[in-house]
Structure 1
Amino acid sequence: MNKIDDREQAYENKFAHDAEIEFKINARTNKMLGLWAASQMKMDQTASDSYATKLVEDSVNNNYSEDDLVNKIYNDLTSAGFNIDISEIKSSIVHIKKDAEYYIKNS
């Protein structure tokens, strides 16, 4: 391979690596967000784990945006009788995503 091919391969490898890291960060964020929402709904451990896992699966299978996640959690919480503001959910996402990013990049 020549230098151009080497450089192209390096960019492709970096792109693939960055995409994998971003996927892992999003999956961890969604899992932790699901656990946070489950704790707000006072779910037991088994129900919390199930809810969080389903949230991750739904987000991957349905290609949820952050707004989709916010709306899903807001609807779940309000349907369960909890009064919560969307801004509180968004604030939680910011903190959870920072933690997830730190965890993934440092593990």
Structure 2
Amino acid sequence: MTDPFRERGKGFEAKYEQDEAIRFRVVTRRNKLLGLWVAGQIGLSGKAAEAYAQEMVDHDLVHPAEDSVLAKAQADMTAKGLTISRHRLDLRLAKLLQEAEEQVHGEIAGTPLH
């Protein structure tokens, strides 16, 4: 006979793990989208833009703080002579987070939104 409380606890743990995996995918996608956007702003395209976007994803894995990817984006844009406010970057990141959530949840539902 199984303990219903233990089974329920296992269910909550499984749900938490699933939610965290989805959250990771969303944040990773958001960072890639941010990287692609910044790449476009600084004049990168094609493989160079993809490489920059991957660099942004990798940066977040090493420095897992939202401020860190924003600081990198702002510094890289400033290095290319572009001035952008932190507020504008925050707004862009929020928009890209929403887009990433829609894409990931669409993929999970079986409808890729790429």
Q: TM-score range by the shorter chain?
A: over 0.9
Alignment partners' CA distance in 1, 2:59 and 2:69: 10
Q: Are 2:7 and 1:6 equivalent residues in the alignment?
A: yes
Equivalent runs, 1:27-66 vs 2, <5 Å: 27-63=28-64, 65-66=65-66
Cα offset, 1:67, TM superposition: 1.2
* Maintained 8 Å contact 2:59/2:69: no
SS at match of 1:53: helix
After TM superposition, the score normalised by the length of structure 1 is 0.94
Alignment partners' CA distance in 1, 2:66 and 2:60: 9
Higher RCO structure, 1 or 2 (CA under 8 Å, sep 6+): 1
Cα offset, 1:69, TM superposition: 1.2
Q: Identity of paired residues, percent?
A: 26
1:60-104 alpha-carbon deviations (Å, 9 max, x no partner): 1222x1111111100000011112111111111011100101111
Moved over 2 A (4+): none
Alignment partners' CA distance in 2, 1:79 and 1:40: 12
Alignment partners' CA distance in 2, 1:39 and 1:23: 24
- Note the aligned Cα RMSD (angstroms): 0.9
- Structure 2, unmatched stretches of 5+, are 108-114
Alignment partners' CA distance in 2, 1:98 and 1:26: 10
Question: Partner residue of 1:69?
Answer: 69
After TM superposition, the score normalised by the length of structure 2 is 0.89
